[in-house]
Structure 1
Amino acid sequence: MTIEAVIFDIGNVLIEWQPERVYDKYIGEERRKEMFASVDLHGMNDGVDRGANWEEAVKALAEANPAFRDEILMWHTHWLEMASPTIEHSVRLLRALRAKGIPVFALTNFGIQTFEIGETEYPFLKEFDRRYVSGHMGVIKPDAEIYRMVEEDCGVAPEKLIFVDDRADNIAAADARGWRTHQFTGPQGWADRLVAEGLLTKEEAA
C-alpha cells in the first residue's frame, strides 16, 4: 500500500537531545547522576511538553530542590545546548522527501516556548507540511490520543503513514494504531528504509 505521508519525530531524529551530556560537561557525571536520582527532571520536562510554562516549571522545581537549585536552573539557561547539534543527514532526508512532493509532518514532544526557540535556531522546523507539537496539543507521546489527533487532523489512513521515532514506546504506540514505523538508531538506517519503501532513490537519500 502506498505511503501518503512521512512523520518525523524531532528530538534524537533531527536534533540531538542529550541533557545528561550537557550536565556531565558542566557539573560532572557523579553530581549529575546524584541529581537525576533525586529530582525528576524528565518528569518536569514532560509537563512542559504537555503545555506547562517552561521557565515557570524549571524555577518551581529548582525552588523545591534547593540542594540542586543552580543545576536545575541550567535546564532553562542551557536548554539550547541540550537540544543540539542538528543531525544533518536526517534534515537532508526531510528536504529530499518534500522536494518530491511527499507530505512530511512533525510529531514531537516539545514545549510551547522551547519550540519557538527551536524554530529560531533550526529553520528547517518550519519546513514541515503539518506540525503536531505536544505542548499545543496538551498530550504527549506515547499516549494513544496524540496519534488519534494526528489521524483526525491529517485525514491520512493509519496504514498509509510512516513514522520515525527514536523511542521504542512511541513506536509501539504508533504500531498499535496501524501506522508503519521505523525506530531511529541513526540516519543511515532511516535513509535505507525510505529507499526500501520506494519514497527516495539511493542518490536522493544520501
Structure 2
Amino acid sequence: MANIEFVYFDLGNVLVRFDPALACRNLATLFAVSEQRAEQALYGSGLQTAYEHGELCDQEFAQQLCSDLCSDFISAQQTAPGRSTIAQQDVLDAISEMFTPIESMAGVVEDVRERLGRVGLLSNTCFAHWDWIRRQNWAVSKLDFEVTLLSCEVASMKPDAEIYRLAQQACGLAGEQILFLDDKAENVAAARNQGWHAECCFGGQQAMDALAKYL
C-alpha cells in the first residue's frame, strides 16, 4: 500500500465542470461577433494559454482580447447602437461564466483532509477563472486548501516538470507520499514521472474510486 500523506486535486473536471463553448458564446454576445470569431480570439490565438501561463495580467489579457474583437464590435454598433465601451470585468466574467460545480467533491476533499490533515489544489488556470469560481456560492468554491498552486501564479503549466517540482516543494513531501487526481492523461503521466502517485479521473464517483485505491 502507498504511504500517501498529501493529495493534490486538479480544478477543471475534477472539482468543477467547464464548457469552453459557453465562454465563446458569452464573448460573442458581449462583443456582438460570431461564436467562431470569439473562439479564434480567445483560444485559437493562444491568448488564453498565455494568460493561464502567467504571461499576461488581467488588464493585459482584457486589453488584447478587446483589441482583437473591438473592430468587429464597433462595426456591429453602427448597425445596432448600444453600449460603446466594454468594462474589463465584463470581459473577465464572460470568459469565466462557463463553470458548474461538482458538488459531491466538496465532501470528498473534506474527507481526505480529515484523514491526512492537508490537501492541495494544482491547476492550469488563469486569475479570472479562479476569481470567478471563488465568488460563487458553491460548496466547492468555499474549500480552503493548505496548498494552492495555480499555473498563472508560477508561470508553469502541467505537464511541464517545473510545476510539479514547485508543488512538491510547497507541500514539503517526497514524491511517493503525494497522490494527484487530474482529468488529463498527459498530466497524470508527468506526475508519475516525478515519482508521484497519480490517477486520471473526473470528479464524482471516478475520483472516489481513485482515492479508494490509496486511502
Give the TM-score range, shorter chain: 0.7 to 0.9
2:168 corresponds to which of 141, 148, 151:
151
What amino acid sits opposite 1:5 in the alignment? F
Shift of 1:33: 4.1
2:57 corresponds to which of 53, 75, 82:
53
Q: Where does residue 195 of structure 2 map in the other structure?
A: 178
Q: What is the TM-score when the length of structure 2 is the normalising length? A: 0.76
Q: Where does residue 203 of structure 1 map in the other structure?
A: none
* Alignment check: 8 A CA contact 2:27 2:94 kept: no
The gaps in structure 1 that reach 5 residues or longer are 200-206
Instruction: Summarize the Cα distance change of 1:156–1:69 in structure 2 as closer, same or farther, 3 Å threshold.
Output: farther
2:47 corresponds to which of 44, 69, 73:
44
Q: What is the aligned length?
A: 194
* Alignment check: 8 A CA contact 1:54 1:114 kept: no
Q: Distance in 1 between matches of 2:125 and 2:160?
A: 14
What amino acid sits opposite 2:135 in the alignment? T
Instruction: Summarize the Cα distance change of 1:67–1:107 in structure 2 as closer, same or farther, 3 Å threshold.
Output: same
| Aligned pairs for 1:108-127 within 5 A | 108-121=123-136, 122=138, 124-127=141-144
Instruction: Summarize the Cα distance change of 1:25–1:110 in structure 2 as closer, same or farther, 3 Å threshold.
Output: closer
Q: Where does residue 76 of structure 1 map in the other structure?
A: 92
Q: Where does residue 204 of structure 1 map in the other structure?
A: none
Q: What is the TM-score when the length of structure 1 is the normalising length? A: 0.79
What amino acid sits opposite 1:59 in the alignment? Q
What amino acid sits opposite 1:145 in the alignment? E
Q: Distance in 1 between matches of 2:27 and 2:204?
A: 28
Q: Is 1:64 matched with 2:79? A: no
Residues 127-178 of structure 1: CA deviation (Å, up to 9, x unaligned): 1111112222121212110101111222211122111111222222112112
| Aligned pairs for 1:1-206 within 5 A | 1-24=2-25, 31-33=34-36, 35-36=38-39, 38-41=40-43, 43-51=46-54, 52-66=56-70, 76-82=92-98, 84-121=99-136, 122=138, 124-197=141-214, 199=215
Residues 81-101 of structure 1: CA deviation (Å, up to 9, x unaligned): 21x211012222111111234
Instruction: Summarize the Cα distance change of 1:129–1:186 in structure 2 as closer, same or farther, 3 Å threshold.
Output: closer
Residues 33-89 of structure 1: CA deviation (Å, up to 9, x unaligned): 4543x435262122222222224313313313456659xx8752423421x211012
The gaps in structure 2 that reach 5 residues or longer are 75-87
* Alignment check: 8 A CA contact 1:44 1:58 kept: no
